[in-house]
Amino acid sequence: MALPSSFLEELNARTPLAALIGRRVRLARSGRQWKGCCPFHDESTPSFWVYEDGYHCFGCGAHGDAVSFLMQTQGASFIEAVEQLAAEAGVEVPKPSPEAAAAEKRRKDLGAVLEAAQASFHRRLFLPEGRQALDYLCNRGLAKETIRQFGLGWTGERGAQTGDLSREGIAQDQLVEAGLMRRDEQTGRIFEFFANRVMFPIRDRRGRIISFGGRIIGDGQPKYVNGPDTALFAKRRNLYALDLARQGIRNGGLLVVVEGYMDVIALAQAGFGAAVAPLGTALTQEQFQELWRLSSAPVLCFDGDAAGARAAARAAELALPMLAPERTLRLASLPAGEDPDTLIRRHGAAGFQSVVDSARPLAEALYELMGDPGVGAAPEQREAFKKRLMGAAGRISDRGLSSEYRKAFLDRYYASRRNRFGPPPPRLQPRPPLKLDAVAAERVRILTAILLRHPALIHCVDHAYSTVELPPPLNRLRKTLREWADRADVLDSAALIDHLTLSGLTVEVEQALGAVPFPLP
């Protein structure tokens, strides 16, 4: 039976292909891909490669997706393979119906309309009437080969595109449905959505045109506009140049997220073939999921001004709940007054490469974006800042990663304070452990409690304290306490207890403090 292409795309997106193929083939990671010996012919040198959405054997030519792999290896029919994958992915296979068939035909027809429009726009760009638009692109530093690679075009004056497409038998209602024309709800009049604009085809991950973006030539507003949401296109879900970025990553490129179309195109022309951009909106959760399908640590590149910092903070906070050990971000800031396009034109590919090389891990960047008030700030400001940090870490759904972020934030928070006690003295050579009787053991517990409340004393008693034999729980506590004291810039009781708690030593801390028969100051 025929199934909607949108369902099959979702099914493949939900299926971790390397894990599926890894059940039958021993795979080894190679960069972002996996490789192994082909299951479809005998070989001793691996030539079978698995990508995020497909496989290919460079020996025998076998290729396909999750569905075709099950069909070829298990002898399953198409529908049997689909049903197996759907059951594992937790999705329901749509029932055949006239409505589903009609919707699928509608999607194909809309795709054909958009392909015809792109061909018309691209052809018109190289006609005499498109000279102003072509000059604009060339003056922005784009080679004609790049213009052709991205399929850029020109709408012509108002009415030109409608005339071109109507001569190909495309009705106005189809143009409205494809997002190329708009109907005024009050008057019923139909008018072109794009006019007098340079056109940027927007493609899905498989390279099919799903909409357009347009940049006006002249002083009109808005400068950039994207097509409306349609049956094929949703701004929240798609990214500009996603299809090219997938290929760029396969070729070893680094996934970089920039602001606009021209940034992406300039980067591609300069050799950064794995750049994408959101479509006129801030990054969304759906777009983050799409990015992480391609890379475990994409680089978000923002302007180096206040607006760029705000955009970076919004993106980082939106991503927090979705972070996992295999899903993170890095943040890079451009020099003030530059965007990727201008930076490359002034300083070449090396200029942008230096920006990418300076990208910071998310935890480090987020700490700075949260606005550290500094050592001299009032206690209230410092505490408010710490609460913001803990709140950010708490929004991470992965509990283990959330704990690691809290540790990283607290370590940096306390390291930023001035050390009032100077560096620790050098350690003496350890003596053999001393055996303790019950009374001596109780004294060590009390000493541990005192050090928890007054960690600055650790360097006064460390040589003796470190050589006493302790039961395992207290020994773990002592080991963690001494390691923390060695690297802490300020020996603060609250910071120490926070660190021990985050290290899983809550019970040991409570037992040590409970051993004191008198209140500690």
Confidence (pLDDT) at 465: 77
Nearest alpha carbon to residue 201 among 75, 100, 111, 67: 111
| Residue 81 domain-assigned (yes or no) | yes
| Residue 198 domain-assigned (yes or no) | yes
Q: Count how many domains the chain has.
A: 4
Note whether 103 and 184 are same-domain residues.
yes
| Residue 154 domain-assigned (yes or no) | yes
Note whether 464 and 379 are same-domain residues.
no
Measuring CA to CA, how many Å separate 297 from each of 46, 167, 204, 270, 400? 27, 48, 21, 22, 18
Q: 148: domain CATH number?
A: 3.90.980.10
Kindly state the percentage of the chain with pLDDT values over 70: 93
Domain closes at, from 89, 119, 142: 89
Confidence (pLDDT) at 209: 96
CA distance 120 to 199: 11
CA distance 117 to 281: 24
Note whether 154 and 65 are same-domain residues.
no
| Residue 292 domain-assigned (yes or no) | no
Identify each DSSP E strand in 298-369 by its residue range: 299-302, 330-333, 360-361
Residue 394: which domain range?
370-415
Confidence (pLDDT) at 229: 93
DSSP label at residue 61: -
| Residue 156 domain-assigned (yes or no) | yes
Note whether 454 and 498 are same-domain residues.
yes
Q: 83: domain CATH number?
A: 3.90.580.10
Domain closes at, from 181, 210, 233: 233
Note whether 510 and 390 are same-domain residues.
no
What radius of gyration do the chain's Cα atoms show? Answer: 30
Confidence (pLDDT) at 412: 85
Please indicate, yes or no, whether the overall pTM of this predicted structure exceeds 0.85. Answer: no
| Residue 345 domain-assigned (yes or no) | no
Residues of the chain with pLDDT under 70: 1-2, 416-441, 489, 515-521
| Residue 142 domain-assigned (yes or no) | yes
Tally Cβ neighbours within 10 Å of residue 301: 27
Domain closes at, from 233, 259, 288: 233
pLDDT digits (tens, 9 = 90+) for 419-448: 444 455 555 555 455 454 566 667 777 888
- Tally of helices (H runs) and strands (E runs) in the chain: 22, 16
| Residue 342 domain-assigned (yes or no) | no
Angle, CA of 506, 510 and 511, to the nearest 5°? 115
Angle, CA of 162, 166 and 169, to the nearest 5°? 155
